[in-house]
Structure 1
């Protein structure tokens, strides 16, 4: 059956591929993998399974905005059969300190990473927008009161939070952090830029020190603050 060999080869790559998250977002306090991490990990497996990977980009206009469309094409060297996957990333309207080519390059890297994620079925269960990440954030926030989740006061008196109140506070904080991470991705803001804006807006430089309200406020105003700085 046509495509059988390449499908089997791709299955082997998906089974064996390990692409750890070797980079850290210092402001959002989460780890992530880059397009380069994936390519470094997958190249030996492509060679073992007789496959060639080609990556390319095109620019597409949707409405008034421009997107980079990344295309990953897997080629079976023996048969010539191919498998293709695509992904889109929107270019930010402007990014302080970057020329037009750098803005496009950043969108290209982002699109290529998620194109490869889809092609190789890379599992991102601990990315900031997942339930596991939210649960971990909740546990950290609940434990922060006395250094141990079991030590969170159960009484509502004297201003102490109950376990339910602490969990809600943690959930609100995790939701706000996810919203901020999404805004950073959408606008192309760097961790350093966001840190500077946070210091000016709420006088804090780390999300760990912010309340849920402060993180949400930062996320809501991030694009406007970036635009102000770009026009300064």
Structure 2
């Protein structure tokens, strides 16, 4: 069964280009397009895509507002694409529920793989976006009490997993660092996401920093 994708961008050429690239894949079907955030919400509810490829800067409603509504009202995952790696909307888009963030100059094979990764329930960030996210979280320099309290729902091992996850380690790297199997890591990560009500690993990274579990610049033990 092919992955259903909705392409959202206010520029006709970008929408056409993304559709051409994605529709060429045997496991991906572009089920629709939208030219602004409000239309994106309507189409996402109507078409029930697996993934929404979302532009950020659009008329009527931007990609952040559209992402927030789509993530709240549908089961679709949102992959945000933008022209700017220092876009001021990066952090807000991730907090709104985006599962991935890439630059529009991404190679076609990277775009295709990103859609597949996000559709599978994983998270994906361009390296420059990851660095900016961590830097932005570091500058905030304080924890949110309501999030700190929610850490009490986790076991000691789950807190350790979350802390290591926030440093950007993959499941395989986590397994090596903690001397456990990759299957065990996946089970713990799934439990952490469920207990904290998080959509994916990106949301877990944001949560870990905002809860003060990870202190920027300090290596996790």
- Report TM bin, short chain: under 0.3
Larger radius of gyration: 1
TM-score of the two chains, using structure 1 as the length reference: 0.22
User: Normalized against structure 2, the TM-score is what?
Assistant: 0.23
